[in-house]
């Protein structure tokens, strides 16, 4: 990367972020709980709640966001403040500093790049990115443009990271007990009759299996750095694959230095 400061940084200690050149009217916007470099000469600090009430009066040449993962969620993304942060400030220099590439569903990684005016997918809005990811999640598509195998090609020179790679391991064990096999088939039939969407079927069946087998598997188990052993049933195979996909994305980001 040479001396160029990347606009997106994923760091273990965000207080050590390199925020690059401080321009006149630079604002550092932070979420409570995030560490950030203090006493930067010429920078005005605003907690995000305060920023939401004042952004329309600001004249900024540069914004530095600390904690976008927690600013912006699928539930609040239509608030006007985010339209300002994305669409209305395309000519303003911006940076995004966070501790993780994404929280929850991996498509949210896209926001860090769109908000810093360097969308690697050329997609118009988060709904389009989410829809494309959902097709991949439900195995309706064989690929996704921010999958682990695509990350380094698309994001190298757009970000840097010092987060550590995850080491979570999964294994599946065959169940030879006929009664247990029958229980699983009955549970599968029950949730398919009760629910009309693939996502509800998967999530409900996972919950029932976790209760039955005293497991705690979720879509975020890849973050644990543990060795996880599960019964070899279809729902566990699905969620193990999903965890591996998320771990691949996370680790691909971790490799970008």
Domain membership of residue 181 (yes or no) is: yes
DSSP symbol at 4: P
Q: Band of the pLDDT at 3, cuts 50, 70, 90?
A: low
Domain boundary among 163, 184, 217: 163
What's the number of CA atoms in the CB half-sphere (13 Å) around residue 24?
Answer: 1
pLDDT digits (tens, 9 = 90+) for 9-23: 999 999 999 999 999
Q: What is the pLDDT of residues 133-153, one digit of tens each?
A: 999 999 999 889 899 999 988
Structural domains in the chain (count): 2
Average pLDDT value for the chain: 93
Task: Give the distance between the most distant pair of CA atoms in the chain.
Answer: 71
Q: Tell me the C-alpha distance between 184 and 205, whole Å.
A: 9
**In this structure, are 188 and 91 located in the same domain?**
no
Rounded average pLDDT over 229-236 = 96
Domain range holding 156?
A: 8-163
- pLDDT, residue 182, reads 95
Looking at the chain, the whole-number percentage of residues with pLDDT higher than 70 is: 99
pLDDT digit string, tens, across residues 112-134: 999 999 988 888 889 999 999 99
Whether 88 is in a domain gets the answer: yes
CA 210-135-224 angle, to 5 degrees, is: 40
């Amino acid at each position: 990367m040479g001396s160029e400061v990347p606009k997106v940084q994923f760091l273990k200690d965000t207080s050590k972020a390199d925020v690059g050149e401080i321009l006149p009217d630079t604002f550092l916007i932070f979420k409570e709980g995030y560490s950030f470099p203090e006493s930067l000469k010429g920078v005005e600090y605003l907690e995000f709640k305060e920023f939401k009430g004042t952004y329309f009066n600001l004249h900024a040449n540069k914004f530095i966001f600390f904690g976008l993962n927690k600013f912006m969620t699928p539930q609040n993304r239509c608030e006007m403040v985010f339209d300002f942060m994305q669409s209305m400030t395309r000519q303003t220099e911006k940076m995004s500093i966070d501790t993780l590439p994404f929280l929850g569903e991996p498509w949210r990684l896209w926001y860090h790049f769109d908000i810093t005016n360097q969308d690697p997918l050329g997609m118009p809005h988060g709904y389009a990115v989410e829809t494309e990811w959902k097709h991949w999640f439900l195995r309706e598509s064989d690929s996704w443009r921010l999958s682990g195998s695509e990350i380094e090609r698309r994001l190298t020179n757009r970000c840097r990271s010092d987060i550590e790679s995850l080491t979570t391991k999964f294994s599946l064990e065959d169940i030879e007990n006929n009664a247990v096999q029958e229980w699983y088939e009955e549970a599968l039939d029950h949730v398919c009759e009760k629910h009309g969407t693939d996502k509800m079927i998967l999530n409900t069946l996972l919950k029932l299996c976790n209760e039955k087998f005293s497991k705690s598997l979720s879509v975020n188990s890849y973050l644990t750095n543990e060795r996880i052993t599960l019964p070899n049933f279809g729902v566990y195979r699905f969620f193990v694959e999903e965890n591996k996909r998320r771990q691949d994305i996370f680790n691909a980001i971790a490799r970008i230095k």
